[in-house]
Amino acid sequence: MVIGAAARVAIGGCRKLVSSSHTSLLLVSSQCRRQMSTDAQSVSEKLRSSGLLRTQGLIGGRWIDSYDKKTIKVNNPATGGIVADVACMGTKETNDAIASSYEAFTSWSRLTAGERSKVLRRWYDLLIAHKEELGQLITLEQGKPLKEAVGEVAYGASFIEYYAEEAKRVYGDIIPPNLSDRRLLVLKQPIGVVGAITPWNFPLAMITRKVGPALASGCTVVVKPSELTPLTALAAAELALQAGVPPGALNVVMGNAPEIGDALLTSPQVRKITFTGSTAVGKKLMAAAAPTVKKVSLELGGNAPSIVFDDADLDVAVKGTLAAKFRNSGQTCVCANRVLVQDGIYDKFAEAFSEAVQKLEVGDGFKEGTTQGPLINDAAVQKVESFVQDAVSKGAKILLGGKRHSLGMTFYEPTVIRDVSSDMIMSKEEIFGPVAPLIRFKTEEDAIRLANDTIAGLAAYIFTNSVQRSWRVFEALEYGLVGVNEGLISTEVAPFGGVKQSGLGREGSKYGMDEYLEIKYVCLGDMNRH
Protein backbone atom coordinates (compact mmCIF):
# COMPACT_ATOMS: atom_id res chain seq x y z
CA MET A 1 0.00 0.00 0.00
CA VAL A 2 1.18 3.50 -0.71
CA ILE A 3 -0.15 6.77 0.57
CA GLY A 4 2.13 9.14 -1.21
CA ALA A 5 5.08 11.30 -0.46
CA ALA A 6 3.39 14.00 1.56
CA ALA A 7 2.10 11.58 4.15
CA ARG A 8 5.39 9.79 4.30
CA VAL A 9 7.16 13.02 5.14
CA ALA A 10 4.65 13.52 7.89
CA ILE A 11 5.17 10.11 9.45
CA GLY A 12 8.88 9.91 8.79
CA GLY A 13 9.96 11.23 12.16
CA CYS A 14 8.75 12.92 15.30
CA ARG A 15 10.19 16.29 14.45
CA LYS A 16 7.49 17.18 11.98
CA LEU A 17 4.71 16.11 14.26
CA VAL A 18 6.08 16.81 17.62
CA SER A 19 3.98 18.23 20.14
CA SER A 20 4.61 21.72 19.67
CA SER A 21 0.87 21.59 20.13
CA HIS A 22 0.54 25.08 18.78
CA THR A 23 1.92 24.09 15.39
CA SER A 24 -0.07 20.86 15.25
CA LEU A 25 -3.27 22.57 16.18
CA LEU A 26 -2.69 25.14 13.51
CA LEU A 27 -1.95 22.38 11.06
CA VAL A 28 -5.11 20.50 11.90
CA SER A 29 -7.36 23.51 12.01
CA SER A 30 -6.08 24.97 8.77
CA GLN A 31 -6.39 21.62 7.00
CA CYS A 32 -9.72 20.60 8.33
CA ARG A 33 -11.64 23.49 9.83
CA ARG A 34 -13.99 21.17 11.63
CA GLN A 35 -14.65 20.26 15.19
CA MET A 36 -14.62 16.69 16.33
CA SER A 37 -18.19 15.42 16.04
CA THR A 38 -20.11 15.01 19.28
CA ASP A 39 -20.21 11.28 18.67
CA ALA A 40 -16.47 11.01 18.33
CA GLN A 41 -15.92 13.20 21.36
CA SER A 42 -18.19 11.25 23.68
CA VAL A 43 -16.71 7.99 22.43
CA SER A 44 -13.17 9.12 23.19
CA GLU A 45 -14.18 10.32 26.66
CA LYS A 46 -15.75 6.94 27.40
CA LEU A 47 -12.66 5.14 26.12
CA ARG A 48 -10.43 7.30 28.27
CA SER A 49 -12.36 6.43 31.42
CA SER A 50 -12.39 2.71 30.54
CA GLY A 51 -8.57 2.70 30.58
CA LEU A 52 -8.36 1.55 26.96
CA LEU A 53 -7.22 4.89 25.55
CA ARG A 54 -3.51 4.45 26.19
CA THR A 55 -1.01 7.01 24.95
CA GLN A 56 2.32 5.72 26.27
CA GLY A 57 4.48 3.01 24.78
CA LEU A 58 4.76 -0.42 26.41
CA ILE A 59 8.28 -1.52 27.29
CA GLY A 60 9.09 -4.40 29.62
CA GLY A 61 5.53 -4.50 30.92
CA ARG A 62 5.49 -0.78 31.88
CA TRP A 63 3.67 2.07 30.19
CA ILE A 64 6.16 4.83 29.54
CA ASP A 65 6.49 8.21 27.84
CA SER A 66 9.13 8.76 25.20
CA TYR A 67 12.42 9.55 26.93
CA ASP A 68 12.48 13.12 25.59
CA LYS A 69 8.73 13.55 26.24
CA LYS A 70 7.95 14.17 22.58
CA THR A 71 4.50 13.22 21.38
CA ILE A 72 2.60 12.78 18.12
CA LYS A 73 -0.98 13.74 17.54
CA VAL A 74 -3.44 11.11 16.39
CA ASN A 75 -6.21 12.57 14.24
CA ASN A 76 -9.71 11.44 13.45
CA PRO A 77 -9.69 11.44 9.62
CA ALA A 78 -13.45 12.05 9.47
CA THR A 79 -13.29 15.33 11.39
CA GLY A 80 -9.66 16.39 11.68
CA GLY A 81 -10.15 16.46 15.45
CA ILE A 82 -7.25 15.39 17.63
CA VAL A 83 -8.03 12.13 19.39
CA ALA A 84 -4.88 11.89 21.52
CA ASP A 85 -1.20 12.73 21.88
CA VAL A 86 0.88 9.58 21.97
CA ALA A 87 4.52 9.05 22.88
CA CYS A 88 6.86 9.64 19.96
CA MET A 89 9.62 7.10 20.47
CA GLY A 90 12.86 6.35 18.64
CA THR A 91 16.14 4.46 18.87
CA LYS A 92 16.64 4.42 22.64
CA GLU A 93 13.17 3.24 23.53
CA THR A 94 13.30 0.59 20.79
CA ASN A 95 16.64 -0.73 22.05
CA ASP A 96 15.16 -1.05 25.54
CA ALA A 97 12.09 -2.80 24.14
CA ILE A 98 14.37 -5.24 22.28
CA ALA A 99 16.38 -5.89 25.46
CA SER A 100 13.23 -6.60 27.45
CA SER A 101 11.93 -8.90 24.71
CA TYR A 102 15.24 -10.73 24.61
CA GLU A 103 15.16 -11.28 28.34
CA ALA A 104 11.52 -12.39 28.32
CA PHE A 105 12.21 -14.91 25.53
CA THR A 106 13.99 -17.32 27.87
CA SER A 107 11.03 -17.80 30.19
CA TRP A 108 8.20 -17.38 27.64
CA SER A 109 9.68 -19.91 25.21
CA ARG A 110 10.16 -22.44 28.02
CA LEU A 111 6.51 -22.43 29.06
CA THR A 112 4.60 -25.41 27.80
CA ALA A 113 2.53 -24.82 24.69
CA GLY A 114 -0.56 -25.37 26.84
CA GLU A 115 0.47 -22.57 29.21
CA ARG A 116 1.05 -20.12 26.37
CA SER A 117 -2.20 -21.23 24.81
CA LYS A 118 -4.17 -20.37 27.96
CA VAL A 119 -2.74 -16.83 28.04
CA LEU A 120 -3.62 -16.29 24.37
CA ARG A 121 -7.09 -17.66 24.92
CA ARG A 122 -7.63 -15.17 27.77
CA TRP A 123 -6.40 -12.38 25.48
CA TYR A 124 -8.88 -13.48 22.82
CA ASP A 125 -11.72 -13.48 25.36
CA LEU A 126 -10.79 -9.95 26.47
CA LEU A 127 -10.58 -8.68 22.88
CA ILE A 128 -14.06 -10.04 22.23
CA ALA A 129 -15.40 -8.70 25.54
CA HIS A 130 -14.18 -5.24 24.46
CA LYS A 131 -15.22 -5.61 20.83
CA GLU A 132 -17.35 -2.46 20.83
CA GLU A 133 -14.73 -0.19 22.43
CA LEU A 134 -11.96 -1.48 20.20
CA GLY A 135 -14.21 -0.99 17.18
CA GLN A 136 -14.86 2.59 18.29
CA LEU A 137 -11.13 3.20 18.60
CA ILE A 138 -10.58 1.88 15.08
CA THR A 139 -13.29 4.16 13.70
CA LEU A 140 -11.89 7.12 15.64
CA GLU A 141 -8.34 6.87 14.37
CA GLN A 142 -8.79 5.10 11.03
CA GLY A 143 -12.23 6.23 9.87
CA LYS A 144 -13.84 2.97 8.72
CA PRO A 145 -17.56 2.54 9.52
CA LEU A 146 -18.19 1.28 13.03
CA LYS A 147 -19.80 -1.94 11.82
CA GLU A 148 -16.77 -2.71 9.68
CA ALA A 149 -14.48 -1.74 12.57
CA VAL A 150 -16.24 -4.12 14.98
CA GLY A 151 -15.94 -6.74 12.22
CA GLU A 152 -12.21 -6.10 12.15
CA VAL A 153 -12.04 -6.73 15.90
CA ALA A 154 -13.75 -10.11 15.48
CA TYR A 155 -11.43 -10.91 12.56
CA GLY A 156 -8.34 -9.65 14.39
CA ALA A 157 -9.21 -11.55 17.56
CA SER A 158 -9.77 -14.74 15.56
CA PHE A 159 -6.00 -14.94 14.90
CA ILE A 160 -5.35 -14.96 18.65
CA GLU A 161 -7.93 -17.71 19.16
CA TYR A 162 -6.63 -19.73 16.22
CA TYR A 163 -3.00 -19.57 17.36
CA ALA A 164 -3.97 -20.31 20.97
CA GLU A 165 -5.18 -23.62 19.53
CA GLU A 166 -2.33 -24.05 17.06
CA ALA A 167 0.31 -23.55 19.79
CA LYS A 168 -0.31 -27.15 20.85
CA ARG A 169 0.26 -28.56 17.37
CA VAL A 170 3.86 -27.59 16.68
CA TYR A 171 5.00 -31.09 15.82
CA GLY A 172 8.47 -32.22 14.90
CA ASP A 173 9.45 -35.35 12.97
CA ILE A 174 11.30 -38.58 13.41
CA ILE A 175 13.10 -39.52 10.21
CA PRO A 176 13.99 -43.11 9.27
CA PRO A 177 17.79 -43.10 9.78
CA ASN A 178 20.38 -43.45 7.02
CA LEU A 179 22.60 -45.67 9.25
CA SER A 180 21.41 -48.38 11.63
CA ASP A 181 23.09 -46.93 14.74
CA ARG A 182 21.54 -43.50 14.30
CA ARG A 183 18.24 -41.85 15.15
CA LEU A 184 17.26 -38.65 13.38
CA LEU A 185 14.90 -36.04 14.81
CA VAL A 186 13.50 -32.71 13.74
CA LEU A 187 12.47 -30.14 16.37
CA LYS A 188 10.64 -26.91 15.70
CA GLN A 189 11.69 -24.09 18.00
CA PRO A 190 10.74 -20.41 18.28
CA ILE A 191 13.02 -18.04 16.37
CA GLY A 192 13.49 -15.50 19.16
CA VAL A 193 12.71 -11.78 19.30
CA VAL A 194 10.42 -10.60 16.48
CA GLY A 195 10.08 -7.02 15.19
CA ALA A 196 6.57 -6.46 13.78
CA ILE A 197 5.90 -3.31 11.73
CA THR A 198 2.28 -2.70 10.77
CA PRO A 199 0.17 -0.26 8.71
CA TRP A 200 -2.89 1.89 9.44
CA ASN A 201 -5.58 0.22 7.31
CA PHE A 202 -6.27 -2.61 9.79
CA PRO A 203 -5.04 -1.18 13.09
CA LEU A 204 -5.81 -4.41 14.99
CA ALA A 205 -5.84 -7.33 12.56
CA MET A 206 -2.43 -6.63 11.02
CA ILE A 207 -0.97 -6.86 14.52
CA THR A 208 -2.79 -9.96 15.78
CA ARG A 209 -1.91 -11.89 12.61
CA LYS A 210 1.73 -11.48 13.53
CA VAL A 211 1.67 -11.42 17.32
CA GLY A 212 -0.70 -14.44 17.58
CA PRO A 213 1.61 -16.98 15.93
CA ALA A 214 4.73 -15.31 17.34
CA LEU A 215 3.60 -15.62 20.97
CA ALA A 216 2.04 -19.03 20.38
CA SER A 217 5.31 -20.43 19.09
CA GLY A 218 7.28 -19.01 22.04
CA CYS A 219 8.72 -15.89 20.38
CA THR A 220 8.57 -12.46 22.02
CA VAL A 221 7.67 -9.33 20.06
CA VAL A 222 8.36 -5.63 19.63
CA VAL A 223 5.44 -4.13 17.70
CA LYS A 224 5.63 -0.85 15.84
CA PRO A 225 2.13 0.19 14.78
CA SER A 226 1.54 2.95 12.26
CA GLU A 227 1.86 6.43 13.75
CA LEU A 228 -1.51 7.18 12.17
CA THR A 229 -3.31 4.46 14.16
CA PRO A 230 -1.40 3.54 17.33
CA LEU A 231 -4.35 3.69 19.75
CA THR A 232 -5.91 0.36 18.81
CA ALA A 233 -2.52 -1.34 19.15
CA LEU A 234 -2.03 0.16 22.60
CA ALA A 235 -5.50 -0.87 23.74
CA ALA A 236 -4.90 -4.41 22.50
CA ALA A 237 -1.58 -4.47 24.35
CA GLU A 238 -3.32 -3.34 27.57
CA LEU A 239 -5.69 -6.30 27.20
CA ALA A 240 -2.72 -8.60 26.56
CA LEU A 241 -1.23 -7.52 29.89
CA GLN A 242 -4.57 -8.15 31.60
CA ALA A 243 -4.62 -11.61 30.01
CA GLY A 244 -1.27 -12.45 31.56
CA VAL A 245 1.20 -11.89 28.71
CA PRO A 246 4.34 -11.42 30.83
CA PRO A 247 6.43 -8.20 30.88
CA GLY A 248 8.67 -7.95 27.83
CA ALA A 249 6.91 -10.68 25.82
CA LEU A 250 4.93 -7.96 24.02
CA ASN A 251 6.26 -4.41 23.64
CA VAL A 252 4.80 -1.53 21.64
CA VAL A 253 6.86 1.44 20.44
CA MET A 254 5.77 4.08 17.94
CA GLY A 255 6.99 7.43 16.69
CA ASN A 256 10.00 7.90 14.47
CA ALA A 257 9.51 5.06 11.97
CA PRO A 258 12.99 5.06 10.38
CA GLU A 259 14.70 5.17 13.79
CA ILE A 260 12.55 2.37 15.20
CA GLY A 261 12.99 0.38 11.99
CA ASP A 262 16.79 0.81 12.08
CA ALA A 263 17.00 -0.23 15.73
CA LEU A 264 14.99 -3.39 15.02
CA LEU A 265 16.91 -4.20 11.85
CA THR A 266 20.42 -3.66 13.12
CA SER A 267 19.98 -5.53 16.40
CA PRO A 268 21.46 -9.04 16.27
CA GLN A 269 19.01 -9.95 19.05
CA VAL A 270 16.04 -9.46 16.73
CA ARG A 271 15.84 -12.66 14.70
CA LYS A 272 12.85 -11.91 12.54
CA ILE A 273 11.16 -8.93 10.92
CA THR A 274 7.56 -9.19 9.87
CA PHE A 275 6.11 -6.26 7.94
CA THR A 276 2.87 -5.23 6.29
CA GLY A 277 2.94 -2.02 4.29
CA SER A 278 4.15 -0.45 1.08
CA THR A 279 6.33 -2.32 -1.39
CA ALA A 280 8.90 0.50 -1.27
CA VAL A 281 9.37 0.33 2.51
CA GLY A 282 9.25 -3.48 2.43
CA LYS A 283 12.17 -3.58 -0.02
CA LYS A 284 14.18 -1.24 2.21
CA LEU A 285 13.53 -3.40 5.25
CA MET A 286 14.47 -6.55 3.36
CA ALA A 287 17.80 -5.02 2.33
CA ALA A 288 18.46 -3.74 5.84
CA ALA A 289 17.79 -7.21 7.30
CA ALA A 290 20.64 -8.68 5.25
CA PRO A 291 23.65 -7.71 7.43
CA THR A 292 22.22 -9.63 10.40
CA VAL A 293 20.60 -12.33 8.18
CA LYS A 294 17.16 -12.06 9.74
CA LYS A 295 14.23 -14.10 8.65
CA VAL A 296 11.84 -11.75 6.84
CA SER A 297 8.08 -11.92 6.13
CA LEU A 298 6.62 -9.22 3.93
CA GLU A 299 3.04 -8.47 3.04
CA LEU A 300 3.27 -5.69 0.46
CA GLY A 301 1.15 -3.94 -2.13
CA GLY A 302 -1.18 -5.66 -4.57
CA ASN A 303 -2.80 -4.85 -7.90
CA ALA A 304 -5.72 -7.24 -7.71
CA PRO A 305 -7.67 -8.08 -10.86
CA SER A 306 -11.34 -8.90 -10.54
CA ILE A 307 -12.09 -10.85 -13.72
CA VAL A 308 -15.71 -11.02 -14.85
CA PHE A 309 -16.30 -13.54 -17.64
CA ASP A 310 -19.27 -13.54 -20.02
CA ASP A 311 -20.53 -16.70 -18.35
CA ALA A 312 -20.57 -15.17 -14.85
CA ASP A 313 -23.71 -14.75 -12.79
CA LEU A 314 -24.15 -10.97 -13.04
CA ASP A 315 -25.46 -10.52 -9.48
CA VAL A 316 -22.67 -12.60 -7.98
CA ALA A 317 -20.05 -10.69 -10.00
CA VAL A 318 -21.47 -7.31 -8.98
CA LYS A 319 -21.76 -8.25 -5.32
CA GLY A 320 -18.32 -9.88 -5.19
CA THR A 321 -16.53 -7.06 -7.01
CA LEU A 322 -18.31 -4.45 -4.91
CA ALA A 323 -17.13 -6.13 -1.71
CA ALA A 324 -13.61 -6.66 -3.02
CA LYS A 325 -13.31 -3.07 -4.26
CA PHE A 326 -15.07 -0.86 -1.71
CA ARG A 327 -14.31 -2.53 1.60
CA ASN A 328 -12.51 -0.02 3.85
CA SER A 329 -13.11 2.61 1.12
CA GLY A 330 -10.75 0.73 -1.17
CA GLN A 331 -7.88 0.89 1.30
CA THR A 332 -6.75 -2.72 1.51
CA CYS A 333 -3.98 -4.47 -0.34
CA VAL A 334 -6.44 -7.15 -1.52
CA CYS A 335 -8.94 -4.61 -2.88
CA ALA A 336 -9.82 -5.15 -6.53
CA ASN A 337 -7.60 -2.62 -8.30
CA ARG A 338 -8.59 -3.51 -11.87
CA VAL A 339 -11.99 -4.84 -12.89
CA LEU A 340 -11.41 -6.85 -16.08
CA VAL A 341 -14.72 -7.44 -17.85
CA GLN A 342 -15.30 -9.61 -20.93
CA ASP A 343 -16.75 -8.01 -24.06
CA GLY A 344 -20.12 -9.76 -23.99
CA ILE A 345 -21.06 -8.71 -20.44
CA TYR A 346 -19.18 -5.39 -20.28
CA ASP A 347 -22.08 -2.96 -20.75
CA LYS A 348 -24.51 -4.93 -18.61
CA PHE A 349 -21.93 -5.22 -15.85
CA ALA A 350 -20.98 -1.51 -16.05
CA GLU A 351 -24.62 -0.56 -15.59
CA ALA A 352 -25.44 -2.99 -12.77
CA PHE A 353 -22.18 -2.30 -10.97
CA SER A 354 -22.64 1.49 -11.14
CA GLU A 355 -26.15 1.07 -9.76
CA ALA A 356 -24.80 -0.89 -6.80
CA VAL A 357 -21.98 1.60 -6.19
CA GLN A 358 -24.46 4.47 -6.20
CA LYS A 359 -26.15 2.93 -3.16
CA LEU A 360 -23.01 3.16 -1.02
CA GLU A 361 -23.34 5.66 1.84
CA VAL A 362 -20.41 7.98 2.40
CA GLY A 363 -20.06 9.52 5.85
CA ASP A 364 -18.58 9.60 9.32
CA GLY A 365 -17.99 6.04 10.46
CA PHE A 366 -20.04 6.66 13.60
CA LYS A 367 -23.12 7.56 11.60
CA GLU A 368 -25.67 4.76 11.26
CA GLY A 369 -25.81 3.44 7.69
CA THR A 370 -22.38 4.67 6.59
CA THR A 371 -20.62 2.15 4.37
CA GLN A 372 -17.76 4.36 3.15
CA GLY A 373 -15.58 6.31 5.57
CA PRO A 374 -12.98 8.94 4.71
CA LEU A 375 -9.59 8.16 3.22
CA ILE A 376 -6.77 8.12 5.73
CA ASN A 377 -5.34 11.55 4.87
CA ASP A 378 -5.15 14.21 2.23
CA ALA A 379 -2.12 12.66 0.53
CA ALA A 380 -4.25 9.58 -0.12
CA VAL A 381 -6.97 11.71 -1.73
CA GLN A 382 -4.46 13.62 -3.84
CA LYS A 383 -3.09 10.34 -5.11
CA VAL A 384 -6.55 9.11 -6.10
CA GLU A 385 -7.26 12.46 -7.80
CA SER A 386 -4.07 12.28 -9.82
CA PHE A 387 -4.82 8.71 -10.95
CA VAL A 388 -8.35 9.69 -12.04
CA GLN A 389 -7.04 12.75 -13.87
CA ASP A 390 -4.47 10.61 -15.68
CA ALA A 391 -7.12 8.07 -16.75
CA VAL A 392 -9.54 10.73 -17.99
CA SER A 393 -6.77 12.54 -19.89
CA LYS A 394 -6.03 9.26 -21.70
CA GLY A 395 -9.66 8.62 -22.70
CA ALA A 396 -11.36 6.87 -19.80
CA LYS A 397 -14.95 7.89 -18.97
CA ILE A 398 -16.32 8.51 -15.50
CA LEU A 399 -19.63 6.71 -14.95
CA LEU A 400 -20.02 7.73 -11.33
CA GLY A 401 -18.17 9.91 -8.83
CA GLY A 402 -14.70 10.98 -9.86
CA LYS A 403 -14.24 13.76 -7.32
CA ARG A 404 -14.00 14.70 -3.67
CA HIS A 405 -17.23 14.26 -1.74
CA SER A 406 -19.23 17.29 -0.69
CA LEU A 407 -18.64 16.29 2.95
CA GLY A 408 -15.14 17.70 2.54
CA MET A 409 -12.20 16.45 4.64
CA THR A 410 -10.80 13.33 2.98
CA PHE A 411 -14.13 11.92 1.79
CA TYR A 412 -14.08 10.81 -1.85
CA GLU A 413 -17.06 9.80 -3.96
CA PRO A 414 -17.34 6.09 -4.79
CA THR A 415 -16.25 6.08 -8.40
CA VAL A 416 -16.67 3.86 -11.45
CA ILE A 417 -14.61 4.57 -14.58
CA ARG A 418 -15.03 2.74 -17.89
CA ASP A 419 -12.74 2.31 -20.90
CA VAL A 420 -9.66 2.14 -18.73
CA SER A 421 -6.59 0.69 -20.47
CA SER A 422 -3.27 -0.82 -19.43
CA ASP A 423 -1.28 2.36 -20.10
CA MET A 424 -3.13 4.31 -17.42
CA ILE A 425 -1.50 4.68 -14.00
CA MET A 426 -4.47 3.15 -12.18
CA SER A 427 -3.91 -0.11 -14.09
CA LYS A 428 -0.34 -0.31 -12.93
CA GLU A 429 -0.31 1.05 -9.40
CA GLU A 430 -2.37 0.50 -6.29
CA ILE A 431 -5.19 3.06 -6.15
CA PHE A 432 -5.94 2.53 -2.45
CA GLY A 433 -9.18 4.42 -2.71
CA PRO A 434 -12.83 4.00 -3.79
CA VAL A 435 -12.26 3.98 -7.54
CA ALA A 436 -13.20 1.01 -9.73
CA PRO A 437 -11.63 1.03 -13.22
CA LEU A 438 -13.39 -1.18 -15.78
CA ILE A 439 -11.06 -2.70 -18.37
CA ARG A 440 -12.43 -4.61 -21.37
CA PHE A 441 -11.01 -7.95 -22.60
CA LYS A 442 -11.92 -10.41 -25.33
CA THR A 443 -10.66 -13.92 -24.57
CA GLU A 444 -9.72 -15.98 -21.53
CA GLU A 445 -6.07 -15.81 -22.66
CA ASP A 446 -6.29 -12.00 -22.79
CA ALA A 447 -7.70 -11.92 -19.27
CA ILE A 448 -4.90 -14.09 -17.89
CA ARG A 449 -2.25 -12.06 -19.70
CA LEU A 450 -3.67 -8.74 -18.46
CA ALA A 451 -4.13 -10.04 -14.94
CA ASN A 452 -0.53 -11.28 -14.70
CA ASP A 453 0.96 -8.19 -16.37
CA THR A 454 2.08 -6.62 -13.09
CA ILE A 455 4.90 -6.88 -10.57
CA ALA A 456 2.33 -7.56 -7.85
CA GLY A 457 0.80 -10.94 -7.02
CA LEU A 458 -1.35 -10.80 -3.92
CA ALA A 459 -5.10 -11.32 -4.52
CA ALA A 460 -7.15 -12.01 -7.65
CA TYR A 461 -10.87 -12.65 -8.11
CA ILE A 462 -12.65 -14.47 -10.92
CA PHE A 463 -16.34 -14.66 -11.68
CA THR A 464 -17.53 -17.46 -13.93
CA ASN A 465 -20.09 -20.25 -13.84
CA SER A 466 -17.78 -22.70 -15.55
CA VAL A 467 -15.91 -25.07 -13.24
CA GLN A 468 -13.44 -25.94 -15.99
CA ARG A 469 -12.70 -22.29 -16.71
CA SER A 470 -12.25 -21.43 -13.05
CA TRP A 471 -9.64 -24.20 -12.68
CA ARG A 472 -7.80 -23.16 -15.85
CA VAL A 473 -7.74 -19.54 -14.76
CA PHE A 474 -6.85 -19.89 -11.09
CA GLU A 475 -4.03 -22.27 -11.99
CA ALA A 476 -2.66 -19.71 -14.46
CA LEU A 477 -2.93 -16.67 -12.19
CA GLU A 478 0.36 -15.56 -10.61
CA TYR A 479 -1.24 -14.67 -7.29
CA GLY A 480 -1.07 -15.90 -3.70
CA LEU A 481 -4.84 -15.74 -3.13
CA VAL A 482 -7.70 -16.34 -5.54
CA GLY A 483 -11.40 -15.84 -4.90
CA VAL A 484 -13.73 -17.69 -7.27
CA ASN A 485 -17.21 -16.14 -7.29
CA GLU A 486 -16.32 -14.51 -3.96
CA GLY A 487 -14.92 -11.10 -3.09
CA LEU A 488 -14.19 -11.47 0.62
CA ILE A 489 -11.78 -14.32 1.15
CA SER A 490 -9.57 -13.45 4.14
CA THR A 491 -9.93 -15.74 7.15
CA GLU A 492 -7.63 -16.79 9.96
CA VAL A 493 -7.85 -20.45 8.90
CA ALA A 494 -6.39 -19.90 5.39
CA PRO A 495 -2.90 -18.76 4.33
CA PHE A 496 -2.69 -15.10 3.30
CA GLY A 497 0.28 -13.77 1.34
CA GLY A 498 1.60 -12.77 -2.04
CA VAL A 499 3.95 -13.88 -4.80
CA LYS A 500 6.24 -11.76 -7.01
CA GLN A 501 6.79 -8.32 -5.44
CA SER A 502 3.74 -8.61 -3.18
CA GLY A 503 5.78 -10.31 -0.54
CA LEU A 504 7.23 -13.31 1.22
CA GLY A 505 5.68 -15.72 3.67
CA ARG A 506 2.12 -16.43 4.75
CA GLU A 507 -0.05 -15.23 7.60
CA GLY A 508 -2.90 -17.16 9.19
CA SER A 509 -3.56 -20.92 9.10
CA LYS A 510 -1.07 -23.64 10.04
CA TYR A 511 1.38 -22.20 7.50
CA GLY A 512 1.51 -18.90 9.38
CA MET A 513 3.08 -20.64 12.37
CA ASP A 514 6.14 -21.77 10.37
CA GLU A 515 7.16 -18.14 9.88
CA TYR A 516 8.09 -17.98 13.59
CA LEU A 517 9.77 -21.36 13.91
CA GLU A 518 13.25 -22.64 13.20
CA ILE A 519 13.88 -26.24 12.29
CA LYS A 520 16.52 -28.06 14.25
CA TYR A 521 17.81 -31.41 13.03
CA VAL A 522 19.26 -33.71 15.69
CA CYS A 523 21.33 -36.79 14.87
CA LEU A 524 21.72 -39.28 17.72
CA GLY A 525 24.78 -41.48 17.03
CA ASP A 526 26.19 -44.65 18.59
CA MET A 527 22.67 -45.90 19.25
CA ASN A 528 23.47 -49.65 19.01
CA ARG A 529 25.54 -49.61 22.22
CA HIS A 530 23.93 -51.47 25.17
Distance of closest approach, residue 496 Cβ to ligand ADP, in angstroms:
17
Residue closer to ligand ADP by CB (options 14, 462) is 14
Distance of closest approach, residue 285 Cβ to ligand ADP, in angstroms:
6
Q: Which one of 152, 227, 259, 299 is the catalytic residue? A: 299
The CA distance from 3 to 436, in Å, is 18
Residue closer to ligand ADP by CB (options 130, 383) is 383
Residue closer to ligand ADP by CB (options 66, 321) is 66
Give the 3-state secondary structure of residue 192. coil
Q: End-to-end distance of the chain based on CA atoms, in angstroms?
A: 62
The CA distance from 381 to 401, in Å, is 13
Distance of closest approach, residue 286 Cβ to ligand ADP, in angstroms:
11
Residue closer to ligand ADP by CB (options 96, 227) is 227
Nearest to 306 by CA among 491, 501, 483: 483
One-character DSSP codes across 228-274: TSHHHHHHHHHHHHHHTPPTTTEEE--B-HHHHHHHHHH-TTEEEEE
Give the 3-state secondary structure of residue 437. strand
Distance of closest approach, residue 160 Cβ to ligand ADP, in angstroms:
20
Nearest to 300 by CA among 413, 174, 197: 197
Residue closer to ligand ADP by CB (options 207, 336) is 207
Distance of closest approach, residue 265 Cβ to ligand ADP, in angstroms:
8
Nearest to 156 by CA among 90, 239, 97: 239
The CA distance from 294 to 277, in Å, is 18
The CA distance from 369 to 365, in Å, is 9
One-character DSSP codes across 445-509: HHHHHHHH-SS--SEEEEE-S-HHHHHHHHHH---SEEEES-S----TTS-B--SGGGEES-BSH
Q: Which residues bind ligand ADP (CB under 6 A)?
A: 1-3, 8, 11, 197-200, 224, 226-227, 257-258, 261, 277-278, 281, 284
Residue closer to ligand ADP by CB (options 284, 440) is 284
Q: Among positive and negative, which fits the CA dihedral 331, 333, 337, 341?
A: negative
Which residue number has the CB closest to ligand ADP?
261
Told to judge if 299 belongs to the known catalytic residues of this protein, a careful annotator would answer yes
Residue closer to ligand ADP by CB (options 2, 399) is 2
Contact between 237 and 196 under an 8 Å Cβ cutoff? The reply is no
Count other Cβ atoms within 10 Å, centred on residue 133: 20
Distance of closest approach, residue 20 Cβ to ligand ADP, in angstroms:
21
Distance of closest approach, residue 391 Cβ to ligand ADP, in angstroms:
21
Among all residues, which ones are annotated catalytic? 299
